[in-house]
Structure 1
């Protein structure tokens, strides 16, 4: 792992230093994951949709938008492209609702992408001990509460 930028005081970081460190780590994960997921022909945003559909089969477009931090409109455009590529399919739900499911091709991309993303995360978070990882997780969840 690389050392922190010189402009931060590791012993007494400001709230901005901590926030920026979280953002830098997230940016590294996203950039690296996008590069590696491209080998599968999917972006990180597309893989995230596949990941959430794996956990929430038959999710509505609105639910997928919320889970992936997108607007309903952008999720609609993304879903249409993913349907065209055979990664997901639209199925009728109750009433006029439209639900989404993984196709066989989408499930393959989801599984392969999960291995890639785990590899990306292991390059940074994998350097933490199990206790440090548990502490980080607990602290992040506490900050979100």
Structure 2
């Protein structure tokens, strides 16, 4: 019996939630949330990004990301720096860099464990199928 596209979509969401739960538990030991680590990661990968750009990258509204950024500034994870014109940019502090990379190790460990059931060829095929779904065939 074949599963419906809706069933498959639900399975993808369940896998994502399993990853989130595992990462949340491990990141808590570093005293950082998954949302905070994701913001650090995107800020590190996109150092010239505006607050709006970072909100889009982290699947948040501008207002929600602004609130998050304020809390992260208060914790000493990021700092505001002047940008072009009236723009304000953000950058990681030394603590932010440390937690960004410690969190990356957590993410790598969680993903490696989760996908360890696949051979390298199966993982490559799965990745290709996901990219088709995300990017489309055209």
In structure 1, C-alpha distance between the alignment counterparts of 2:113 and 2:20, rounded to whole Å: 13
Equivalenced residue count is 135
Structure 1 unaligned spans of 5+? 1-8
* 2:115 is aligned with 1:122: no
Which of 54, 63, 76 in structure 1 is aligned with 2:44? 54
The structure 1 segments of at least 4 consecutive aligned residues displaced by more than 4 Å after TM superposition are none
> Residue 126 of structure 1: CA displacement?
2.5
Moved more, 28-37 or 52-61: 52-61
Corresponding position of 1:103: 93
What is the rounded CA distance, in whole Å, between the counterparts of 1:117 and 1:133 in structure 2?
17
Scaled by the length of structure 2, the TM-score of the pair is 0.94
Residue equivalent to 2:63:
73
| Conserved 8 A contact 1:59-1:101 | no
Contact 1:88 1:106 (C-alpha < 8 Å) held by counterparts:
yes
Cα deviation 1:99-121 (Å, max 9, x = unaligned): 01111100000010000111111
TM-score, L = length of structure 1: 0.89
Over the residues paired in the alignment, what is the CA RMSD in angstroms? Answer: 1.0
